[in-house]
């Protein structure tokens, strides 16, 4: 196995989906990979703790029960000594118990015949320690093994640090997603209650909650970018060295074949693209916070081409808890082209119509969603089998603050706001109702906007 392929395998482990599910398994796989690479039988991997004064054993092969997860003080034992002094150590049957107290007693029944232990370092900064061991029936490690291992483990440290960065990033992203989920729930409650005046106050608190995890993720992405550039620089140096070599040695041919197999140039670009996409996603989260703050300012929305069915379905999912106990939802969708619109505002119209339909049903009924197209316009209809609207009230349903709901159930702004949004799209909204039988609201929208408001 060439050094490049060994490092590439470490890189692939660092990108494993297991990082999101069981990070401890990644450390164990890395240790198994390294132990096998040095033709050893056992080993252990420790990372520097948060206090920077202890090592935490994160993986091990042939260790006593309970060792993984335990800590070793810097300067204590072989790994502690190596991490504190920043120097590798080769032990071939000459273990000095006085120099490393406690280690012999812990491993005396399975003491290795030969052991190598290296500090894991990044630019002279120790991030952990790693040891590999051979039993008596194998050849002892040599000074050459120690020197070669030092070079390889310096590169492996980059992969381990990358894993740590990803783990930290996933933790911060989870915090961000939790905060964002809270934001979505809060926004849903506000939309259903139609209390637009309170959005600004909520946004200030939510923005404060989200800013911290956003800062963590942004900082980690910057650190990840720097370390990635360092790793790519090492690979570039190795590539230039390989390209400068002449001859047809088996090792050189194997290296060239590996480069072609893994498509190294593509990997470089793909890694940078992934990082750029992550930064773009972070910017989108920041925009969510900003959009919430300015939600009531409809003139700040952006026009785009969107699928009304997709918006209707997403809105239906948001208000499903409001509907599922009151009605069966029937969908009779036609073929619709994408239209030029303000999607978030139309979603608010859909939400108001769906919630109103559910609230009009006293026990249990049916809500039917229909869509279609006529010429250059599309339409969407929401029908319910509720109590209907009295004829004398039909002409007032779009008036601000008009409501027939009990006190505390609505402000009378939902349909008025919806009417304004539809008018802004150069569309129209119609209502047909029969008292005791139900109501249908039909929204007409142009496919293309001639004059935007």
Is the Cβ–Cβ distance between 348 and 191 less than 8 Å?
Answer: yes
Rounded average pLDDT over 225-238: 81
Mean predicted confidence (pLDDT) in 189-211: 52
Residue 135 has pLDDT above 50, yes or no: yes
Residue 346 in contact with residue 340, Cβ under 8 Å?
no
CA distance 63 to 331: 61
Distance between CA atoms of residues 174 and 177, nearest Å: 5
Confidence band of 3 (pLDDT split at 50, 70, 90): low
Q: Per-residue DSSP letters for 183-243?
A: HHHHHHHHHHHT-GGGHHHHHHHHHHHHHHHHHHHHHHHHHHHHHHHHHHHHHHHHHHHHH
Is the model's pLDDT at 283 over the cut of 50? yes
The reported pLDDT for the residue numbered 404 is: 64
Structure tokens at 388: 């209907």
Instruction: Spell out the long-range contacts of 104-110 with Cβ–Cβ below 8 A and sequence spacing 24 or more.
Output: 106/64, 106/67, 107/64, 110/62
Of the two residues 65 and 165, the one the predictor is more confident about is 65
pLDDT confidence bin for 270, thresholds 50/70/90: confident
**Closest to 346 measured CA to CA, from 401, 426, 431:** 426
Least reliable range by pLDDT among 13-22, 112-121, 355-364, 403-412: 403-412
Beta bridge partners of 119: 129
Tell me what pLDDT residue 288 has: 60
Q: Per-residue pLDDT tens for 85-120?
A: 988 988 887 666 665 554 544 444 455 679 999 998
Average pLDDT over residues 392-414: 66
Tokens linked to 334? 């036609």
Whether the Cβ atoms of residue 284 and residue 31 lie closer than 8 Å to each other: no
Is 90 exceeded by the pLDDT of residue 124?
A: no
On the question of pLDDT at 427 being above 60, the answer is: yes
* Nearest residue to 412 (alpha-carbon basis) of 401, 397, 423, 420: 401
Please tell me the least confidently modeled range out of 65-69, 262-266, 367-371, 425-429.
262-266
Q: From its phi and psi, is residue 158 left (phi > 0), alpha (psi between -120 and 50) or beta?
A: alpha
Asked if 301 contacts 348 with a C-beta cutoff of 8 angstroms, the reply is no
The confidence score (pLDDT) of residue 108 equals 41
Q: How far apart are CA 173 and CA 85, in angstroms?
A: 35
């Amino acid at each position: 196995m060439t050094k490049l392929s060994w490092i590439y395998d470490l890189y692939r482990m660092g990108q494993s989906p297991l990082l999101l599910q069981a990070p401890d398994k990644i450390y164990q796989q890395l240790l198994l990979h390294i132990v096998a690479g040095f033709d050893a039988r056992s080993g252990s991997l420790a990372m520097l703790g948060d206090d920077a004064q202890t090592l935490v054993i994160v993986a091990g092969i042939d260790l006593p029960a309970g060792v993984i997860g335990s800590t070793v003080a810097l300067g204590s034992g072989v790994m502690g000594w190596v991490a504190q002094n920043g120097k590798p150590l080769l032990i071939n049957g000459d273990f000095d118990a006085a120099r490393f107290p406690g280690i012999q007693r812990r491993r005396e029944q399975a003491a290795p015949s030969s052991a190598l232990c290296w500090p894991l370092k990044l630019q002279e900064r120790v991030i952990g320690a790693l040891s590999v061991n051979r039993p008596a029936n194998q050849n002892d490690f040599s000074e050459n093994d120690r020197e070669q291992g030092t070079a390889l483990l310096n590169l492996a440290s980059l992969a381990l640090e990358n894993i740590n960065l990803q783990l930290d990033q996933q933790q911060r992203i989870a915090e961000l997603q939790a905060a964002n989920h809270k934001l979505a729930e809060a926004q849903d409650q506000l939309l259903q209650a139609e209390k637009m005046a309170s959005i600004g106050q909520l946004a200030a608190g939510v923005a404060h909650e989200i800013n911290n995890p956003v800062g963590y993720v942004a900082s980690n992405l910057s650190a990840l970018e720097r370390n990635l550039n360092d790793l790519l620089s090492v690979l570039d140096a190795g590539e230039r060295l390989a390209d400068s070599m002449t001859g047809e040695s088996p090792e050189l041919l194997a290296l060239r074949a590996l480069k072609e197999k893994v498509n190294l140039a593509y990997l470089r670009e793909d890694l940078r693209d992934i990082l750029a996409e992550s930064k773009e996603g972070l910017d989108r989260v920041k925009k969510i916070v900003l959009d919430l703050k300015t939600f009531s300012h409809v003139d700040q929305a952006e026009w785009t081409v969107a699928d009304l069915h997709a918006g209707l379905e997403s809105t239906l999912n948001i208000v499903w808890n409001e509907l599922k106990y009151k009605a069966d939802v029937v969908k009779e969708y036609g073929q619709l082209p994408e239209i030029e619109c303000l999607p978030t505002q139309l979603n608010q119209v859909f939400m108001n119509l769906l919630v109103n339909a559910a609230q009009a049903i006293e026990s249990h009924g049916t809500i039917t969603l229909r869509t279609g197209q006529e010429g250059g316009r599309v339409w969407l209809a929401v029908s319910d089998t509720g109590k209907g609207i009295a004829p004398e009230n039909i002409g007032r349903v779009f008036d601000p603050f008009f409501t027939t709901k009990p006190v505390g159930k609505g402000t009378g702004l939902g349909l008025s706001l919806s009417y304004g949004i539809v008018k802004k799209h150069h569309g129209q909204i119609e209502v047909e109702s029969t008292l005791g039988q139900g109501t249908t609201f039909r929204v007409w929208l142009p496919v293309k906007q001639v004059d935007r408001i």
